[in-house]
Amino acid sequence: MFVHFEWRRCVSRLKYRVPTLAAILDHLTAAPVRDTESRALQIIACRNRTHNSDILLRAQNPSGAWSAEPNAGPDNCFHTALALLALKALLPNDPMPQHVAHAFAWLDSIVGVENHWLWKWKFRYFDRQVRFDRTKTGWPWVEGTVSWVAPTAMVMLAHRAWTRDSLRLLTATRMLMDRACPQGGWNAGNSEVFGVALDPHPDFTAMALLALRGVLDRNEAIIAKSLDYLVLRLMNSESLYSLAWGALALDAWSHTGSVDLTRRIRDRLASIDPSLVPVRALAMAVIACEPPAFLKHGGPQ
């Protein structure tokens, strides 16, 4: 009797949620957005409902890169990587088209300035407030700045999604490992400034973990500590955006904590008014519930 009751209740809840998710996808598909991050996440979330990449491609700069806003601001590695992931979601089985190759060519030309001899000299003899290995570089947000965690992680994910190899990926992996916080997780850029250890951030931690999935073993100390950090940090979080990134990362590493996070996201989606939630957060929540193939778990665990 009890089992039968539980089964009927689960069916009832499922019938309630499926239309809700469908309504959210309807809203997302039609939602007007301008910034590149929201547009890219919208496309990934709604990839089974639309195959139109024209708006995203029109925002591609002559350099091959994307900016944070179409036709505004400098070329941006983070947003270029997100656009490449969105294009892959729309073209999962296609060979690399010219506009994708053009974007990767631009990314190949951008490197953190800490790799330049003048900056190495500066960091070695004068600027010692930050702690990181200047020989381990990734990608900056924009040209002419040092490498940061988020753009480096997203560019690594874009390479993996398009199965594009690069000698720089090994250096980028070493850079992420070097920038990890001793207690686990990642901050935006450095783990220590002025001798003070910085606190990790859940979004950047999730991005780094996704980038390192399939590259490092789960038993690696920093990976294990970072996964545990995510579970504890997001235990009482109300940020749909952070919960979604965390769920993706935990699922990628087959961590049991992903089940609870995904359930909480689904519960939120079943009760919210989608028109009151920012597109990027709503899209991330949908992606966490239905991740594309290039974000699903795999590789050494």
Q: What is the pLDDT of residues 206-228, one digit of tens each?
A: 999 999 999 999 889 999 999 99
Residue 287 Cα distances to 10, 134, 231, angstroms: 23, 35, 19
DSSP state of 200: P
**What pLDDT sits at residue 127?**
47
Query: How many whole angstroms separate alpha carbon 114 and alpha carbon 138?
Result: 10
**What pLDDT sits at residue 125?**
41
Longest dimension (CA), the chain: 75
Q: What share of the chain has pLDDT > 70, as a percent?
A: 82
Query: What domains does the chain contain, in order, with CATH numbers?
Result: 16-295 (1.50.10.20)
Residue 79 CB contacts under 8 Å (≥ 6 apart), including other chains = 36, 37, 40, 65, 66, 67, 68
> pLDDT averaged over the chain?
86
pLDDT band at 198 (very low <50, low <70, confident <90, very high): low
Average pLDDT over residues 151-162: 97
pLDDT at 183 over 50: yes
Per the listing, tokens 């591609």 go with 60
| DSSP-assigned beta bridge partners for residue 69 | 72
**Looking at the chain, how many residues does it have?**
301
Higher pLDDT, 253 or 93: 253
The whole-model pTM stands at 0.87
Please check whether residue 190 is in contact with residue 126, taking contact to mean a CB–CB distance below 8 angstroms.
Answer: no
Query: How many whole angstroms separate alpha carbon 267 and alpha carbon 262?
Result: 9
User: The tokens of 280 are what?
Assistant: 């990027």
Q: Which amino acid is at 71?
A: N
Query: How many whole angstroms separate alpha carbon 247 and alpha carbon 106?
Result: 31
User: The tokens of 16 are what?
Assistant: 């309630």
Higher pLDDT, 135 or 6: 135
Q: Which amino acid is at 135?
A: T
User: The tokens of 108 are what?
Assistant: 């190949």
pLDDT band at 53 (very low <50, low <70, confident <90, very high): confident
